Structure 1
Amino acid sequence: MMPFYDVDAKLLFAAGKGECSLSILEFVDGTECITQASHTVLPEQSKGMGMLPKLAVDVMACEVDRLIQLCARQIVPVKIEVPRKSHRDFASDLYPDTDSDEVTLSAADWFSGKDGQVRVRVKITLKTSLDPSRRKSFSNPTQQPKPASAGEAPSSIPEQPGKVVQNDSITPSSGFKKVETEKKKVEPELPKPSGRAFTVGQKSKFRHWIATTLHPATHVTNIPKLKMSLPGSCDGFHANHERAAVPLTTPGGHIAILELSKVGRLPTTSPPSVQNTSAITDMRWDPFNPLRLAVGLENAAIKVWDIPKGGLKEVASDASFSLSGHHNKIICLQFHPLASGILASASTDSTIIIWDLDTQEKCITLSGHEDEILHFAWSSDGKYIASMCKDSKIRIFELRISTDPIKVTTGPEGSRGGRIAWTCGDQMLLTSGFSKNGNRQIAVYNVAHFDGGKIEDIELGASPSTLVPFYDEDSNVCFATGKGDTTVYSFEVSTEDPYLTGLNTFTNDQPHQSFSFLPKQNCDPRKVEFARAWCLKKTSLEPVSFKVPRVKMEYFQDDIFPDTRDLTKPSMTSQQWLDGDNKQATRISLRPSDMKPLSEAPKEAPKTKKYESYNAETYKTDEEKKEELLSAMSNKLDLDKELEQDTMEGVDEEEW
């Protein structure tokens, strides 16, 4: 075991090589006892472990310690945080005076026998924030600190919009020039992202949703040779309400076509599949044609398959047609949400091509990217496309107007992968990526104030897989999970603060490959089911139902089920969209004809409270209550009534 001790928090961290856990022990003040504080599961086996100095932690995130785990192929930071309701105020009880980075004794003095002094203790306060961007780096004893330029303060209290901020002067002994006290008015601006950890919010109709895996009789099992190693931009598989496309490890880029109406155990032989002759990078069902499947390949081609009614009976090797226009492998595919026959594809050649499947020709090419594209998404009205790149930029295109982006902002850092989705009626953009310290991150951007960058983000711990978001526009709930995960997170997205509200989570009994959510029409409103998905595991395909617990389930919950867009029927043809039309989808109600809406349910009379408030007119003392009780008992017994034995004649004394 490798021990690491924090003298300030009195915490002992113990980790062993080859283990996947970290034990945290706490020393109790005034005793000689050591208590088990917690037990943390690490993402991979440890090859080594290290602990950063106290001055390196993020105090505004209530981080008390940070360890670095060495794995087989990566270095993972492990943050030890204390949950707090608010991260806006500095938690002074967590951070006593700690050792500074100043040298108090040289090597020669120590060898000569000097004991030296205890290292200088510094106060960790909000003013001397440990954020590396706002404080000086670790000092070098051979160099003097670089003085600040005139009028520049090395550290200051974070400015708040609309308030007058006063900067304290810095003493000359600290190595900086003295700065006079200055007052200035700060213009209001958008809130800064908090970088807070995932916490469950308080106010939401969907806070306590529950997810259940349906009965095993509805599962598709014994799926052979499932392909697990797919590009990070691929969801892993894709399903519609009739069938699922599942990639196989069989050479030649095979995709099994599973009919979801034929549940149960599959035969031991290979299932019917389509052969693409090249490695698969992505696959997508046409939302308006459940028999059409588009497949992206590593050889830069896109194959479009038309599955016969009733499903495949054998391996198919001839696609309906192929699309050629990219120079490198395909990254991801997305069908237009409203127009039929419009397909968008992204490639590693840093272009996005819009295809007309009716004419089998490319119509628009977006070439305004400066690096490899990670992911892209259509807006709900089909007017815009938002993309993420390895250059950490997010771009918005109005593709029928210009092939250059109309808006650009800074997105998640790094090139490990990312996803993007439109939310809140196309007013907000949601991204999943990775933060500076390697944690998975969900962030939101306001499209109207796009230049300001992200306005809120939540970190979900370290993991190698990218979170894949699935957004429900009717409930504003976004589900997120990654390949190989066992947990599905959820958030409610809003255009007002708080922009991200953590909801419930769903945990699988074993790691899953991916989720594929179905259109809203496939939900059962009688059971208050607001989302349904298929979950792909190693050898099975299982349906998962997401429900909201309600008391009056005999009524249609119209506050949860507004009129939804009918996304199974196109609003326009491909040519109409290319000509500039912007028709909206028709809206339909999910209310069954025999159910009354909850808003029309009769209101119940208010229940009497168990403890009524004091009323001088009706108040009774204990003696009065006792007399009232005895009087009621006497009236019930009716003691003045003549009894039957009182009328009977007695027995003579001589006969006793």
Structure 2
Amino acid sequence: LMPFYDVDAKLLFAAGKGECSLSILEFVDGTECITQASHTVLPEQSKGMGMLPKLAVDVMACEVDRLIQLCARQIVPVKIEVPRKSHRDFASDLYPDTDSDEVTLSAADWFSGKDGQVRVRVKITLKTSLDPSRRKSFSNPTQQPKPASAGEAPSSIPEQPGKVVQNDSITPSSGFKKVETEKKKVEPELPKPSGRAFTVGQKSKFRHWIATTLHPATHVTNIPKLKMSLPGSCDGFHANHERAAVPLTTPGGHIAILELSKVGRLPTTSPPSVQNTSAITDMRWDPFNPLRLAVGLENAAIKVWDIPKGGLKEVASDASFSLSGHHNKIICLQFHPLASGILASASTDSTIIIWDLDTQEKCITLSGHEDEILHFAWSSDGKYIASMCKDSKIRIFELRISTDPIKVTTGPEGSRGGRIAWTCGDQMLLTSGFSKNGNRQIAVYNVAHFDGGKIEDIELGASPSTLVPFYDEDSNVCFATGKGDTTVYSFEVSTEDPYLTGLNTFTNDQPHQSFSFLPKQNCDPRKVEFARAWCLKKTSLEPVSFKVPRVKMEYFQDDIFPDTRDLTKPSMTSQQWLDGDNKQATRISLRPSDMKPLSEAPKEAPKTKKYESYNAETYKTDEEKKEELLSAMSNKLDLDKELEQDTMEGVDEEEW
């Protein structure tokens, strides 16, 4: 084991060479006890590991330590972050005073027997963040300007001997430095206005969804020998509404077939499985046949298994048939979303082959890729395929028209891995990859303006595993999580700005291997459950329910559950699709027969307040108050009242 100790946080990190895990231990204050704080699963074996100094962490992301993992072909940063609700303020409780990077003793002094003072303790604040401009700067001796070479233009601001340049006068608003000279003052350039205006956050019905792991009585536990070191293009496992395919470490490429109706603790013996005789790279259940499983292998073959009804009773070694056509190992498999018997496979030979499982022959070969394929996806109407490659290009194929891409644009800059999915009725493409600085990134592209590149992206911090997206076309919600993560992120995708809206997150109690979401028909609309998935952990398989909190749950929430496509039944055969048909799936309603839609619910009368400062029945409007005031004023003027002079005795007119 390779130990790394953080004296400030009192954390001990332990990783073994050749292992795929990282243990985090904590020293308890006032005792000599060590407790297990966390355990993280790494995607690849560790060849070595190191820890960066404390001053290199990102304090505003609540990062307490950063380890560097050396793998067989790459170097991966592993960030240790503490979850906090807000990252606006500096978390001073996480960062006590730490050692500075100042040198207090030279090597010659140490060899001569001198003892230096303890390094000064400094506070970790924004001045010790990763931004070098915010660190404490030291003035260097003034140097005379060097004469410009023949190939260099003279500087527009010559250096003046004896004049100090103020490097620390940086304003938060502009970010420009004020430079002073003896003759003139250079004014800072104003920042150019951003092309994108400020937009108010979009209101979403799904912003506050709640995810819960169902009762332990519904779990499948005691899964033995789970294989966790799978290629990054593999989801880790795959499940439908009847059974799950879980890869095992047993030699020979075994995949356990678990019947989800038989929940509980599995026997100590190995579960029934299919033996593929080669390492597994991907697996996928047929969406229209819950008994058919396609498996991609490292020997470039694809094996198709037909599981008997009732499940396997023992190890099966003879597949129904095998497909051969690729020259290198399989990367990923995808069934056609509408046509039965159509399977697409991608390989490291930079090709995508479309197979007809009814005839067991390849029909179309897409060879327009210039580098290794990372992932690909069918459009929801089954007309197009979008692919990601290591050359940072995204390509769209109309495969029945041409084997060359019809649209190409620049994708994620990193080449460590990636995923792609169609969203918003095939108007948008969503990608999961890595940015140039190694952070995980979610980005969206407008298919109509594909040449313009991405229109929105969100970075989610550094992690070695690729985020695997699942898109729900009815709610426009995309869930994303990675292997070894404990958090499931979610975003709402829109065709208008803002294109990505962050929603709620779900946190597991321990790292999970993967999630496999089920078709919409498996959701319970009575509980306002809009998504359901199986979560694979190290030794268990657990169902997770995603719900939207509502008040009137006795009504069918028709604003949450529109008519959905029935993707469990094919809309056409393989031959019909190859002949050019584009028949779409039928739509069905998820409303139970005994539930009334929320849109038809009677409107409630306004409720009286418990404490009212006035009587609502005697409350008068402004018009009523005006009429009452005029009436009161006119009533004061009595027209029939006797005047004072009427009582006086007058004189005759002749006397005037």
Q: 1:387-417: CA deviations, max 9, x gaps?
A: 1111111111111111111111111122211
Report the Cα distance in structure 2 between the residues aligned to 1:550 and 1:165, rounded to whole angstroms: 62
- SS in structure 2 at match of 1:225: coil
Q: Tell me which moved more, 630-639 or 317-326.
A: 630-639
Aligned length: 656
Query: Which residue of 2 is the match for residue 126 of structure 1?
Result: 126
Distance 2:262 2:483 in 1: 26
Deviations 1:403-435 (A, max 9, x none): 111111111122211111111111111111111
Residues 619 and 12 (structure 1), Cα distance of their counterparts in 2 relative to 1, 3 Å cut: farther
Match of 2:242 in 1: 242
Moved more, 525-534 or 206-215: 206-215
How many angstroms apart in 2 are the aligned matches of 1:563 and 1:266? Answer: 38
Distance in 2, Cα, partners of 1:653 & 1:570: 117
| Deviation, structure 1 residue 30 | 30
Residues 1:246 and 1:201: Cα distance change in structure 2 (over 3 Å): farther
Q: In structure 2, do the counterparts of structure 1 residues 507 and 26 end up closer, same or farther at CA, with 3 Å as the change threshold?
A: closer
Give the Cα–Cα distance (whole angstroms) in 1 for the partners of residues 29 and 654 of structure 2: 92
- Alpha-carbon shift at residue 136 of structure 1 (Å): 19
Whether the 8 Å CA contact 2:211–2:547 is kept in 1: the answer is yes
Mean Cα displacement is larger for which, 221-230 or 343-352?
A: 221-230
Task: Report which stretch shifted further, 194-203 or 390-399.
Answer: 194-203
What are the residue-to-residue correspondences of 1:74-223 with 2, within 5 Å?
203-223=203-223
Instruction: Tell me the SS of whatever aligns to 2:358.
Output: coil
Once the two structures are TM-superposed, the CA of residue 608 in structure 1 deviates from its matched residue by 2.8
1:462 positional shift: 1.6
Structure 1 pair 393–181 and aligned structure 2 pair: CA distance change class (3 A)? farther
Deviation at 1:469, TM superposition (A): 0.7
Alpha-carbon offset, residue 243 of structure 1: 0.9
2: CA distance, partners of 1:23 / 1:439:
22
CA distance in 2, matches of 1:654, 1:216: 121
Note if contact 1:534-1:544 (Cα within 8 Å) is conserved in structure 2.
yes
Shift of 1:228: 1.2
- What is the RMSD computed on CA atoms of the aligned residues? 13.1
CA contact (8 A) 1:353 1:365 kept: yes
More displaced stretch, 80-89 vs 548-557: 80-89
Give the stretch that moved more between structures: 367-376 or 115-124: 115-124
Q: Which moved more, 1:389-398 or 1:518-527?
A: 389-398
Secondary structure of the residue that 2:646 maps to in structure 1? helix
Q: Distance in 2 between matches of 1:190 and 1:438?
A: 31
Deviating more after overlay: 167-176 vs 209-218:
167-176
Please, which runs of 5 or more residues in structure 2 have no aligned partner?
A: none
8 Å CA contact retained: 1:159, 1:186: no
How far is 1:175 from its partner? Answer: 19
The 3 A distance-change label for structure 1 pair 539 and 640 is: farther
- Give the SS at the match of 2:305: strand
Q: Deviations over 1:20-57 (max 9, x none)?
A: 99999999999999999999999999999999999999
Q: For 2:133, what is the secondary structure of its paired residue?
A: coil
Q: SS in structure 2 opposite 1:649?
A: coil
Q: Is the 8 A contact 1:296 1:330 kept in 2?
A: yes
CA distance in 2, matches of 1:525, 1:350: 43
Q: In the TM superposition, what is the alpha-carbon distance from 1:149 to its structure 2 partner?
A: 16
Alpha carbons 1:431, 1:444 under 8 Å: kept = yes
Distance (Å, rounded) in 1 between the aligned partners of 2:203 and 2:502: 10
CA distance in 2, matches of 1:531, 1:161: 69
With 437-446 and 417-426 compared, the bigger mean Cα shift is at 437-446
- 1:148·1:177 contact (CA, 8 Å) conserved in 2? no
Q: 1:435 to 1:644 in 2, by over 3 A?
A: farther
CA contact (8 A) 1:161 1:186 kept: no
> Quick one: distance in 2 between partners of 1:63 and 1:248?
35
Query: How far does the alpha carbon of each residue in 1:340-359 deviate from its partner, in whole angstroms, 9 at most, with x for none?
Result: 10000000001000001111
Moved more, 150-159 or 347-356: 150-159
SS in 2 for 1:211: strand
Contact 2:165 2:179 in 1 (8 A): no
Alpha-carbon displacement from aligned partner over 1:485-509 (angstroms, at most 9, x marks no partner): 1111111111112211111111112
Identify unmatched segments of 5+ residues in structure 1.
Answer: none
- Which structure 2 residues correspond to residues 576-655 of structure 1 after superposition, within 5 A? 576-609=576-609
1:292 positional shift: 0.7
Q: Which one is further off, 158-167 or 478-487?
A: 158-167
Q: Are the structure 2 counterparts of residues 394 and 94 from structure 1 closer, same or farther at C-alpha, using a change threshold of 3 Å? A: farther
TM-score in terms of structure 2 length: 0.70
Deviation per CA, 1:293-352: give whole Å up to 9, x if none: 100000000011111111111211111111100000000000000001000000000100
How far apart are the structure 1 equivalents of 2:312 and 2:29?
A: 70
Change (3 A) 1:162 1:107: closer
Q: Deviation per CA, 1:505-553: give whole Å up to 9, x if none.
A: 1111221111111000011101111111111111111111111111111
Contact in 2 for aligned 1:512/1:537 (Cα 8 Å): yes
Q: Secondary structure at the match of 1:451?
A: helix
Instruction: Using the TM superposition, name which of 386-395 and 170-179 deviates more.
Output: 170-179
Structure-2 separation of matches of 1:473 and 1:157: 58
274-283 or 444-453, larger mean C-alpha shift: 444-453
Q: Is the 8 A contact 2:145 2:159 kept in 1?
A: no
Q: Do the aligned partners of residues 155 and 453 (structure 1) sit closer, same or farther apart at CA in structure 2, a change above 3 Å counting?
A: farther
* Shift of residue 179, structure 1, vs aligned partner: 16
The answer to whether the 8 A contact 1:127-1:157 is kept is: no
CA distance in 2, matches of 1:151, 1:84: 53
**Aligned in 2, Cα 1:186/1:544: closer, same or farther, shift over 3 Å?**
farther
Give the Å deviation of 1:155.
15
Listed one character per residue, the Cα deviations across residues 72-129 of structure 1 (whole Å, up to 9, x for unaligned) are: 9976668999999999999999999999999999999999999999999999999999
Question: Secondary structure at the residue paired with 1:236?
Answer: coil
Asked if structure 2 preserves the Cα contact closer than 8 Å seen for 1:161 and 1:189, the reply is no
**CA gap 1:551/1:176 in 2 versus in 1, 3 angstroms:** closer
Shift of residue 650 of structure 1?
74
CA distance in 2, matches of 1:502, 1:59: 22
Deviates more, 1:640-649 or 1:604-613: 640-649
Q: Which moved more, 1:47-56 or 1:310-319?
A: 47-56
1:471 alignment counterpart: 471
Greater shift, 598-607 or 341-350, is seen at 598-607
CA contact (8 A) 1:291 1:308 kept: yes
Change (3 A) 1:324 1:168: same
User: Could you tell me how far apart the structure 2 residues matched to 1:383 and 1:558 are?
Assistant: 30
Give the direction of change, closer, same or farther, for the CA distance of 1:524–1:649 in structure 2 (3 Å limit).
farther
Identity %: 100
Distance 1:266 1:356 in 2: 36
SS at match of 1:362: strand
> Is this contact kept in 1: 2:127–2:135, CA < 8 A?
no
2:417 & 2:155 partners in 1: Cα distance? 34
Residue 185 of structure 1, CA deviation: 28
Checking the alignment, whether the CA contact within 8 Å between 1:194 and 1:456 is kept in structure 2 is: no
Aligned partners of 1:162, 1:385: CA distance in 2, in Å? 65
Say if 1:375 and 1:112 are closer, same or farther in 2 by CA, change over 3 A.
same
Structure 1, 127-136 or 306-315: larger mean CA deviation: 127-136
What CA distance in whole angstroms lies between the structure 2 residues aligned with 1:307 and 1:343? 18
What secondary structure, in the 3-state scheme, does the structure 2 residue paired with 1:631 have? Answer: helix
**Contact 1:146–1:176 (8 Å) recurs in 2:** no
Q: Residue 256 of structure 2 contacts residue 272 of structure 2 at CA under 8 Å; is this kept in 1? A: yes
Q: 1:188 to 1:411 in 2, by over 3 A?
A: farther
What residue is the counterpart of 1:521 in the other structure?
A: 521
**Contact 1:20/1:44 (<8 A) preserved:** yes
Contact 2:558/2:597 (<8 A) preserved: yes
Contact kept, 8 Å, 2:78 with 2:463, in 1: the verdict is: no
* Aligned-partner Cα distance in 2 for 1:175–1:603: 55
**Hey, what does 2:417 align to over in structure 1?**
417
Aligned CA distance change for structure 1 residues 401 and 176 (closer, same or farther; 3 Å)? same
Identify if the C-alpha distance between structure 1 residues 52 and 310 changes in structure 2 by more than 3 Å, giving closer, same or farther. closer
Q: Residue 4 of structure 1: CA displacement?
A: 16
Q: Which moved more, 1:148-157 or 1:583-592?
A: 148-157
- Residues 458-487 of structure 1: CA distance to partner in whole angstroms, max 9, x if unpaired? 122221111111111101111111111111
Q: Secondary structure at the match of 1:60?
A: helix
**1:203 offset after TM fit, Å?**
2.2
Between the aligned partners of 1:422 and 1:313, the Cα distance in structure 2 is 38
* Whole-angstrom distance in 2 between the partners of 1:655 and 1:242: 125
User: Taking structure 1 as the reference length, what is the TM-score of the superposition?
Assistant: 0.70
Q: Is the 8 A contact 1:371 1:391 kept in 2?
A: yes
With over 3 angstroms needed to count, the CA separation of the structure-2 counterparts of 1:251 and 1:341, relative to structure 1, is: same
Q: Spell out structure 1 runs of 4+ moving beyond 3 A.
A: 1-202, 609-656
